[in-house]
């Protein structure tokens, strides 16, 4: 198999499996009783969050690097990554004693940057550059050419794709041992490497399984490509689901996914946050945003999967603990439980008490209150956050706020104001 073939076969995945099996952990395939009861089906989780680098990316990185001729390895390798691919490259560089220069966006969570250094040790040099993966990629390719090194593509490389496909081989091996046949498989799509490898192996060995690619709503580059039947570059993306926020998928991955995948699902970033919190509280699984995508998609397929056997790939667990407050906030906004307003407050004693009595319901809570008193005016501006216990109370809350101040501004509907003030 060579990069020039621009395709991957099940045989390539089998060969990659033999190549990596002594280094890469065979992660468990576990039935999840909570999700199975919730969706009235049999949900199995492929736990790539338990991989050595806490994501599936080690598979593709190790395979792509290990097939390089010795003289290429000796010149060193490079990569561009939002974090997980970088960890896979770093781990491999240390295992094979190679020099690696790893380019990461400036916006990459600190937890992922520190993990790359940890896994790579003295074999790795990290360069933080650019706001997005695509900016970072341009710099990495320029550096690679200037220094005659080898670039290890995170997804648009047949060896990377074959490596990612090895987890599909593990899924089917375990399923065969337990006499299970899967009706549906859900997996995240960023650049498309994971689902390209998985789809290639399932198409050859479990063709009855419907393969569903799941993308963040704000970075659905594969769905856009399929709609237009060509690879496109999204002008703007939401970078929150950092492991799957790619503005342009690969030509190779597009061709494979377009041919083999059954459907594509786009998940609101807020829904991903709700899934992360639910997984942590109900299943004690710490998933990163991209790792939670596959489970988030089950809600949209609730009717189709009833009584079926379903596998979800938990693609990664590199979640920075410092992001949890933002995750909780996004979840509450998505669930319509938290609401922000700008109000004109009367500058007189008892005004706040009147607001509480006239506007808030018995179980509503004020979570934010910023008030600037102006001595020369009758009113002062207030930024107030209110959390509901039941999202069905929203219309009554808005009616009460409008009665208190007809000129109020509902911040939730204004992304620019929300970013500035909240």
Which are the catalytic amino acids?
Answer: 57, 315
DSSP 27: -
Residue corresponding to tokens 């099996």:
21
Which contiguous run of DSSP H or E holds residue 395? helix 394-404
**Hey, how many other C-beta atoms are within 10 angstroms of the C-beta on 95?**
16
Environment class of 281 (CB within 10 Å of its CB; exposed 0-12, middle 13-18, buried 19+) = exposed
| HEC letters along 202-245 | HHHHCCCCEEEEEEEHHHCHHHHHHHHCCCCCCCCCCCCCHHHC
22: left (phi over 0), alpha (psi -120 to 50) or beta: alpha
The length of the chain is 422
Per DSSP, the residues of 64-82 read HHHTS-HHHHHH-EEEE-S
**Hey, how many other C-beta atoms are within 10 angstroms of the C-beta on 60?**
33
Which contiguous run of DSSP H or E holds residue 372? strand 365-372
Checking DSSP bridges between strand 29-31 and strand 42-47, what pairing results, if any?
antiparallel
Which contiguous run of DSSP H or E holds residue 185? strand 184-188
Q: How far apart are CA 41 and CA 185, in angstroms?
A: 13
């Amino acid at each position: 198999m060579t990069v020039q073939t621009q395709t991957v076969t099940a045989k390539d995945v089998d060969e990659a499996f033999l190549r990596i099996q002594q280094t890469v952990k065979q992660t468990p395939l576990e039935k999840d009783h909570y999700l199975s009861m919730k969706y009235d089906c049999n949900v199995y989780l492929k736990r790539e969050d338990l991989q050595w680098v806490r994501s599936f990316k080690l598979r593709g990185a190790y395979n792509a690097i290990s097939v390089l001729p010795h003289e290429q390895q000796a010149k060193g390798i490079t990569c561009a990554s939002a974090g997980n691919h970088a960890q896979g490259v770093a781990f491999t560089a240390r295992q094979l004693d190679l020099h690696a220069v790893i380019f990461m966006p400036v916006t990459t969570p600190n937890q992922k940057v520190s993990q790359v250094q940890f896994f790579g040790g003295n074999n790795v040099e990290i360069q933080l550059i650019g706001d997005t993966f695509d900016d970072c990629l341009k710099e990495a390719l320029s550096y690679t050419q200037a220094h005659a090194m080898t670039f290890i593509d995170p997804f648009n490389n047949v060896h990377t794709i074959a490596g990612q496909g090895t987890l599909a081989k593990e899924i089917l091996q375990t399923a065969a041992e337990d006499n299970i046949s899967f009706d549906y498989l859900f997996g995240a799509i960023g650049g498309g490497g994971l689902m390209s490898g998985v789809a290639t192996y399932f198409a050859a060995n479990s063709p009855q399984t419907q393969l569903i690619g799941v993308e963040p709503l704000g970075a659905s580059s594969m769905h856009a490509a399929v709609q237009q039947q060509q690879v496109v570059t999204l002008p703007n993306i939401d970078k929150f689901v950092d492991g799957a926020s790619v503005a342009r998928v690969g030509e190779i991955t597009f061709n494979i996914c377009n041919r083999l995948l059954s459907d594509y699902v786009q998940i609101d970033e807020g829904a991903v946050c709700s899934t992360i919190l639910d997984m942590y509280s109900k299943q004690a699984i710490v998933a990163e945003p991209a790792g939670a995508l596959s489970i988030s998609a089950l809600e949209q397929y609730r009717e189709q999967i009833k009584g079926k056997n379903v596998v979800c790939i938990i693609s990664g667990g590199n979640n920075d603990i410092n992001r949890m407050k933002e995750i909780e906030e996004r979840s509450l906004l998505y669930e319509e439980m938290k609401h922000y307003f700008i109000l004109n407050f009367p500058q007189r004693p008892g005004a706040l008490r009147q607001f509480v009595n006239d506007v808030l319901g018995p179980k509503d809570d004020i979570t934010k209150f910023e008030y600037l008193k102006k001595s020369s005016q009758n009113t002062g501006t207030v930024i107030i956050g209110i959390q509901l216990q039941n999202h069905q109370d929203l219309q009554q809350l808005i009616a009460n706020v409008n009665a208190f101040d007809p000129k109020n501004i509902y911040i939730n509907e204004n992304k620019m104001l929300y970013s500035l003030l909240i």
